[in-house]
Amino acid sequence: MKDNLNAWKDLKIICNRSKLEVDERRPNVMSKAVYTLTKGQKRWICECIIHLKFPDGYTSNLAHCVYMKELRMHGMKSYDCHVFMQKLIPVAFREMLPGPVWSVLTEVKNKAQVELSIVEAYLIEEIDLFTSHYFEPQILCKQNRPRSNDDLMMNENRSQWSIFNHLGQASGTSKKRWLSGSERHIIKMYILCNCGVVMPYYE
Give per-residue pLDDT as tens, 59-72: 888 888 899 998 99
Residue pair 192/198 in contact by the 8 Å Cβ criterion: yes
Residue 77 CA, chain-centre distance (Å), reads 10
Q: DSSP assignment of 96-163, as one string?
A: TS-HHHHHHHHT-S-TTSHHHHHHHHHHHHHHHHHHGGGS-TTS--TTTPPPTT---SPPTT--SSGG
Most confident segment among 77-86, 92-101, 167-176, 179-188: 179-188
Question: Is residue 108 scored above 60 in pLDDT?
Answer: no
Give per-residue pLDDT as tens, 113-125: 545 565 666 677 7
Burial class (CB in 10 A: 0-12, 13-18, 19+), 97: buried
Residue pair 81/34 in contact by the 8 Å Cβ criterion: no
pTM above 0.85?
A: no
Where do the domains of the chain lie?
1-31, 38-105, 108-139
Residue 33's DSSP bridge partners are none
Check residue 113 and give its pLDDT: 55
Check residue 154 and give its pLDDT: 47
Name the residue with higher pLDDT: 169 or 177.
Answer: 177
